[in-house]
Chains A and B, each alone.
Chain A
Amino acid sequence: MIRSGVARLILMRLAVAIPLLLIISFGIFSLVHVAPGDPVRALLGTRPSDPETLASLRARYHLDDPFIVQYGKWLGQVVQGDLGRSISGNRLVLSSIKERAGVTIYLCLVSTVIVLVAGILLGMFAAFRRGGRLDRFVVMFGVFGISSPAFVTGIFLLYVFGVVLGWFPTFGAGRGFLDRFWHLTLPSVALALSIMAIVVKITRTSMIEVMERDYVAFARARGMSMTRITFAYILRNALIPVVTAGGIIVIGFLANAIYVEVTFAIPGLGSLIVDAVQKRDIPLIQGTTLVFAVFVVVINLVVDVIYTMIDPRIRFGAVQS
């Protein structure tokens, strides 16, 4: 029963995710034609415009076919892992992405740990001390966190810890695990601060709500320790909205990672996208954007499934409907 419910749910989500990916990929493909001027010129970049190069470009992008056929052929190549070659540097887009992805994943993982640990703890303590000094600090922190984008916080962190105190390097990603950690500390904190506000806010609100439930009052009446109640009853229920917001949080991570990487001059996927956009390197833009978009959609799918699995109420609700 449970298994079939989850399977059905995954199928239903896939039925939404796949058309979504198709539409996104269509949009990304259309970029060649949206760019001002002739698509061949856009794809040519700074290369010499001899007839041979032009002809090979036309053939590579099937520019002589009707638009829909062009898209179909492009999609076929993409599905086989062929993202084409970048205009600047003439490198395989896929290998550029592979080379850069590691740093971005490292950055996001360190940041996720900070967000989950610090964000949930802060939200929890604020809820326990509601109306107190810590709570007011946390609420203010939330407003600042939502209002200050990662590149602005990044600049302040860079100045205080990189320039004034000189504790951390101001650019680059470092080599080896520890050196990389040292290089990525400030960027991870900048990234975490921009996301943490949401997590703190949601945790605090839902903790407050759950703490007022009858089952918590009943557990206290039975004389259970507050620690046990907190972890076994309150936190478990209060964190469901955090998981639900997982999609927004992941999109926030990826978007802010782009800004953080540019601020700290880290050679990751985000700065690759910005580089490509600034140089109008269409194949590189298409490849990187597609990878980002697929990642976002897949993570959203996973979050949806996890969330139905940890909360039986939703699962059975879905089965019944």
Chain B
Amino acid sequence: MSLHVDEAKTPGRAPRMTISIGIVICFCIMAVVIICALFGSSVAPDSPFTQRLEVGDTPPSAEFLAGTDLLGRDVLSRVIYGAWTALVGPIVVAVGAWMIATVLGLVSGYLGGWVDSAIMRWVDFMLALPAPLIAIVVVGVVGGGYWTAVMVLIILFTAPDTRIVRSAVLEQRPRPYIDAARALGISKTRILFVHILPNVLPIILAYVVLDFAFALVNLAGLSFLGLGVEPGTPDWGRMLFENRTILFTNPVALLLPAAMVILTAVSMNLIGDWLFERLTR
């Protein structure tokens, strides 16, 4: 009876197939974004900075496939160039936050005691803060645009990430190989970084990808409020901010960057989930 229930519970082969096709599409989308970010100048049909004030904002045409913005700049080229800030910042945020979180989580989970409580109290405090609001206010007041935003996000992301690493370490701690390593007289640092770290690394890797998606959305949001990248930079969030007034005349100038934010974030989220399932099983 129970076996039967279990069988009915797991969906058949078909959904798994669709998931893997989905993952292939996600990787393709990310490949396109990466190519745009690295080789923007050869991919884009036009410079993203050339202004044609006499043309102004026009809907898509044969000359400008996605139309032009208020200053007559080619929207398609700006979206292609925008892939750069959409990749670099989120990568720095995800990798930076996870590097700090890994060290803190390893130390906190393995050493325990007052170190653990100190780090965990700090994590609790950070998690109680309204993070998005803090990002807006700090970036707005301190200034410095994009890279200040990246720094603030690293700090805000570190807290929840530390908690994840810590619980992964706690899961490893009672295992026999740790006892064995200890019995051999191996130093704490070596146990932490040579023995425990490789075992928690797969989880971290999956979460780095998920953090990337989250950082992308947050950085785009700050740029959308006019707080991220410098004015004039081709950036998806910034385009949503600058082109808000031409929603009626050339909606593509808003819809294209908006769609790119969603597509990239969805792809990375799905890739992260997929990695998580593959690596932690």
Binding site for B on A (CB under 8 A): 20, 23-24, 28, 31, 34-36, 130-131, 136, 143-144, 146-149, 151-152, 155-156, 158-159, 162-163, 170, 251, 254-256, 258-259, 262-263, 273-274, 277-278, 280, 282, 285, 289, 292-293, 296-297, 300
Are the C-beta atoms of B136 and A155 separated by less than 8 Å?
no
Are the C-beta atoms of B130 and A147 separated by less than 8 Å?
no
CA distance A146 to B226 in the complex (A): 23
Q: Which residues of B contact A159 (CB under 8 A)?
A: 247, 251, 254-255
CA distance A110 to B198 in the complex (A): 48
Interface residues of B in 226-281 (CB under 8 A from A): 226-227, 240, 244, 247-248, 251, 254-255, 258, 261-262, 265-266, 268-270, 273
Interface residues of B in 59-103 (CB under 8 A from A): none
| Given A34-B141, A34-B142, A255-B132: A147 touches B247 (CB 8 Å cut-off) | no
Please report whether the interface of chain A is mostly helix, strand, loop or mixed according to DSSP: helix
Are the C-beta atoms of A262 and B247 separated by less than 8 Å?
no
Residue B185 is within 8 A (CB to CB) of chain A in the complex: no
Binding site for A on B (CB under 8 A): 9-11, 15, 125, 128-133, 136-138, 140-143, 213, 217, 220-221, 224-227, 240, 244, 247-248, 251, 254-255, 258, 261-262, 265-266, 268-270, 273
- Nearest residue, chain B, Cβ from A27: B134
Apart from the given pairs A152-B262, A293-B133, 17 other A-B contacts in the complex at a CB distance below 8 Å: A20-B125, A34-B142, A131-B9, A131-B11, A143-B266, A148-B217, A151-B224, A158-B247, A254-B133, A255-B131, A277-B137, A278-B140, A278-B225, A280-B141, A285-B141, A292-B130, A300-B128
Chain A to chain B contacts (Cβ below 8 Å), 6 pairs: A148-B265, A152-B220, A163-B251, A262-B224, A277-B137, A292-B130
Q: Which residues of B contact A274 (CB under 8 A)?
A: 136, 225
A-B pair count, CB < 8 Å, reads 120
The one of A131, A147, A163, A258 in contact with B213, judged by C-beta atoms closer than 8 angstroms, is A147
CA distance A24 to B270 in the complex (A): 35
- Nearest residue, chain A, Cβ from B128: A20
Q: Which residues of A contact B266 (CB under 8 A)?
A: 143-144, 147-148
The one of B136, B220, B262, B269 in contact with A277, judged by C-beta atoms closer than 8 angstroms, is B136
Q: Which residues of A contact B140 (CB under 8 A)?
A: 277-278, 280, 285
| Given A277-B141, A285-B141, A292-B133: A148 touches B262 (CB 8 Å cut-off) | yes
| Given A131-B11, A282-B141: A258 touches B136 (CB 8 Å cut-off) | yes
Q: Which residues of B contact A255 (CB under 8 A)?
A: 130-133
Interchain nearest-CB distance for A263 vs B (Å): 8
Are the C-beta atoms of A144 and B262 separated by less than 8 Å?
yes
Q: Which residues of B contact A158 (CB under 8 A)?
A: 247
The one of A144, A155, A259, A280 in contact with B258, judged by C-beta atoms closer than 8 angstroms, is A155
- Nearest residue, chain A, Cβ from B252: A159
CA distance A31 to B11 in the complex (A): 54
CA distance A254 to B258 in the complex (A): 21
The one of B138, B141, B220 in contact with A149, judged by C-beta atoms closer than 8 angstroms, is B220
Q: Which residues of A contact B128 (CB under 8 A)?
A: 20, 297, 300
Q: Which residues of B contact A136 (CB under 8 A)?
A: 15
Are the C-beta atoms of A147 and B265 separated by less than 8 Å?
yes
Most chain A CB atoms below 10 A, which of B137, B220, B254: B137
Are the C-beta atoms of A296 and B130 separated by less than 8 Å?
yes
Q: Which residues of A contact B125 (CB under 8 A)?
A: 20, 23
CA distance A136 to B11 in the complex (A): 11
Q: Which residues of A contact B220 (CB under 8 A)?
A: 149, 152
Are the C-beta atoms of A170 and B247 separated by less than 8 Å?
yes
Most chain B CB atoms below 10 A, which of A163, A251, A254: A251
Q: Which residues of A contact B258 (CB under 8 A)?
A: 152, 155-156
Q: Which residues of B contact A28 (CB under 8 A)?
A: 137
The one of A251, A254, A259, A280 in contact with B221, judged by C-beta atoms closer than 8 angstroms, is A259
| Given A131-B11, A147-B262, A148-B265: A156 touches B255 (CB 8 Å cut-off) | yes
Q: Which residues of A contact B224 (CB under 8 A)?
A: 151, 259, 262
CA distance A258 to B265 in the complex (A): 20
CA distance A292 to B137 in the complex (A): 12
CA distance A143 to B269 in the complex (A): 7
Q: Which residues of B contact A23 (CB under 8 A)?
A: 125
| Given A35-B142, A158-B247: A289 touches B137 (CB 8 Å cut-off) | yes
CA distance A296 to B129 in the complex (A): 8
